[in-house]
Amino acid sequence: MNSPRYVFMKLLPKNLESRLFGNLINLKIPVLSKLARNLFAKAYHLEMSEASKPLSAYANIGELFVRTLAPGKRPIADAEIVSPVDGRESQSGILYGENAEMIQAKGKTYSLAELLRDKELAAHFARGRFATIYLAPFNYHRIHSPVSGKLIAASYCPGTLWPVNNWSVNRVEGLFCINERITTRIAVDGGGELLLVKVGATNVGRIAVNYAPNWITNVGKLPRHAPRIDYTPQEEYRFKRGDELGRFEMGSTVILIADEILANRHPELFAKTLGKAVKMGESLL
């Protein structure tokens, strides 16, 4: 039987509510915006010693949430694949075959093809490995490249904006397949490919990527008439490990998908960090 909370969240116009909430926390109202900023920092115990600016330099919660880090706060490990974000690796595993199932939570799975909304692309990553990294509100929310390589393509999948906390992950079927998301496909230097799937969530719900400045979710800029909108770079766009790739405006989840070439090269990929907190730049090998 569905709980009242589930029914409420299902009926809530989550995208609209999130857009309104995003507008609210980005307002610059004298006194009130700074008070809200201070309460947010205190409530979530933000580690402001890592930030590039003091708390007083941020005009509101929105600016504080996408804060940058002071130089040297996230050293990049000497490893082929590093964490793209601060968070906790909640799930990882092997992608068995073309109809690979991925773990969402205990007793709940979803398919790679449904996540990508592309059966051919999913088949390309069969026999690879995946990892899910959850970002909490207190985490640093900029997204960095986990590998050195070049951009092959990207895609935007319109969707809803359920929360991505433990409550939702354990109750909402196919959560990551119904929430909207942007996927970045990278050809890794040395061979192999990696997908970086950025999943939106309730409250603001915005995802932005640096390589396509007009691609910002939940602000009314991206079309929603198709299940999937593809992006192909017009010129070569390269990343080094640790280069900033985009940002979340409010918390969410990153799913990494490595192909069979990378999985064979690194048999323990994502396994040693399962269940652990990770920092951007730390090795995932």
Asked about 86 being catalytic, the answer comes back as yes
Read off the amino acid at residue 132: T
Return the closest-CA partner of residue 156 out of 230, 221, 210, 216: 230
Cα distances (angstroms) measured from residue 165 to each of 92, 144, 160: 17, 22, 15
Q: Cα-Cα-Cα-Cα dihedral of 278, 124, 176, 202, to 10°?
A: 70
Q: Which of 83, 145, 252, 266 is catalytic?
A: 252
Question: What token pair was written down for 126?
Answer: 């069969």
Whole-number Å distance between alpha carbons of 61 and 54? 13
Q: Which of 18, 33, 83, 86 is catalytic?
A: 86
Beta bridge partners of 253: 134, 199
SS3 (DSSP) at 217: coil
Q: Which of 33, 124, 141, 144 is catalytic?
A: 144
**Please, which residues have CB within 8 angstroms of residue 28's CB and are 6 or more apart in sequence?**
59, 60
Cβ atoms within 10 A of the Cβ of 138, count? 15
SS3 (DSSP) at 75: coil
Number of H helices, E strands in the chain: 9, 14
Asked about 252 being catalytic, the answer comes back as yes
So which residues are the catalytic ones? Answer: 86, 144, 252
